[in-house]
Amino acid sequence: MKKLIRIGTRESQLAVWQAVHVQKLLAQHGFESELVHIKSEGDIDLQTPLYEMGVQGIFTRSLDIALLSDKIDIAVHSMKDVPTQLPKGIVQAAVLERASYKDLLVYKGNINFLNDFNSSAIIATSSIRRKAQWLNRYPNHTLENLRGNVNTRLKKVEESNWNGAIFAAAGLERIDLRPEHSVELDWMLPAPAQGAITVVCKEGDDYAFDACQHLNNEPTAICTKIERDFLRALLGGCSTPISALAEIKNNELIFKGNILSIDGKDKLAIEKRVSIKDTDGLGDKAAYELLNNGGQKIAEGIRNGGK
């Protein structure tokens, strides 16, 4: 018997776009659904930097609670916001085909400073990962904190004295807000699972799980699992200067990962190429190799708050 699937979503424009996208995909497979809007702590507190809030899953916890208390049947998340360890009683039901994984700089004025590693500029981002990679490349730049939904952040850039701010390309492109004055940062490795959307449901809810399985994109699911395994094996949290990207090309999986100190001064990177048949455990293996080759010291420094 067909049931109405209640889709939980945060209230931001991007979150709603993602939920509507899942709703349309479910409809293509004959499933009816409705949206249920849930406020998240990450949307309410727009002052505290994410990494100071001390909570994994700051954008997902409210939806998790709604799921476990039977207010919704499925929740839709930007996968990079989801803790590597899902709450007890919640399971991954689908990973949608990935959009762009890239970070981009929305800039003001000219961007000559990008070609001079000794230049001075003010760049805004709330991401500890982006800050570390930026300072590693541009040690003389000043990094400012930038919070809020996509629309709020774009407005702050316009009204500020900043030279630019860093955004996820997928977020801006999905809601047609990517400005002309933006440039992709091809040198910057993304957050694990950046650009991917995941759908979760309650364990034991076979109807919701089976419905969402129609939306699952296997290549994206494989790549994001490896990236998130790498993150979990290194430190586990999403507010860490850890980046990872797995891509499948010609039956080969190419993995790149790195870990940086919070101030960007120390950096260790790793790259692996394996047959698509040999991807099991790759994220863990890459993480342990990195830890054994000097990454342990950087990881301990991050755990101690960069001291």
- Residues 127 and 50 reside in one and the same domain: no
- Residues 238 and 208 reside in one and the same domain: no
Q: Is the pLDDT of residue 51 over 60?
A: no
Alpha-helix runs per DSSP H in 160-295: 169-174, 206-213, 218-234, 282-290
pLDDT of residue 186: 97
pLDDT band at 157 (very low <50, low <70, confident <90, very high): very high
Q: Is the pLDDT of residue 270 over 90?
A: yes
Residue 11 resides in a domain:
yes
- Residues 174 and 43 reside in one and the same domain: no
pLDDT band at 237 (very low <50, low <70, confident <90, very high): low
Known catalytic membership, residue 116: no
Cα–Cα distance list, 176 to 106, 151, 171 (Å): 14, 11, 9
Mean pLDDT of 14-36: 97
Q: Is the pLDDT of residue 53 over 80?
A: no
Give the model confidence (pLDDT) of 166-196 as tens digits: 999 999 999 999 999 999 999 999 999 999 9
Total domains in the chain come to 3
Q: CATH no. for residue 110?
A: 3.40.190.10
- Residues 84 and 127 reside in one and the same domain: no
pLDDT band at 236 (very low <50, low <70, confident <90, very high): low
Residue 191 resides in a domain:
no
Average pLDDT, the chain: 91
Q: Which of 64, 73, 81, 229 is catalytic?
A: 81
In this structure, are residues 167 and 150 in contact, taking their beta carbons and an 8 Å threshold? yes
Residue 223 resides in a domain:
no
Residue 138 resides in a domain:
yes
Q: Is the pLDDT of residue 62 over 70?
A: yes
pLDDT of residue 147: 85
Q: CATH no. for residue 239?
A: 3.30.160.40
- Residues 9 and 91 reside in one and the same domain: yes
Residue 161 resides in a domain:
yes
Q: Is the pLDDT of residue 208 over 70?
A: yes
Rounded Cα distance between 238 and 57, Å, is: 8
Residue 222 resides in a domain:
no
Give the model confidence (pLDDT) of 116-149 as tens digits: 999 999 999 989 999 999 999 999 999 999 988 8
User: Higher-confidence residue: 59 or 221?
Assistant: 221
- Residues 71 and 201 reside in one and the same domain: yes
In this structure, are residues 263 and 199 in contact, taking their beta carbons and an 8 Å threshold? no
- Residues 212 and 71 reside in one and the same domain: yes
In this structure, are residues 165 and 62 in contact, taking their beta carbons and an 8 Å threshold? no
Q: Is the pLDDT of residue 261 over 50?
A: yes
Residue 202 resides in a domain:
yes
pLDDT band at 30 (very low <50, low <70, confident <90, very high): very high
Q: Is the pLDDT of residue 103 over 60?
A: yes
What is the domain extent for residue 19?
5-96+196-216
- Classify residue 98 by its DSSP letter: P
DSSP string, 101-117: --EEEEESS--GGGG-T
In this structure, are residues 193 and 228 in contact, taking their beta carbons and an 8 Å threshold? yes
pLDDT of residue 52: 43
Lowest mean pLDDT among 106-120, 175-189, 267-281, 291-305: 291-305
Q: Is the pLDDT of residue 55 over 90?
A: no
Mean pLDDT of 34-58: 58
Dihedral angle, C-alpha 61, 62, 68, 70, nearest 10 °: -160
pLDDT band at 58 (very low <50, low <70, confident <90, very high): low
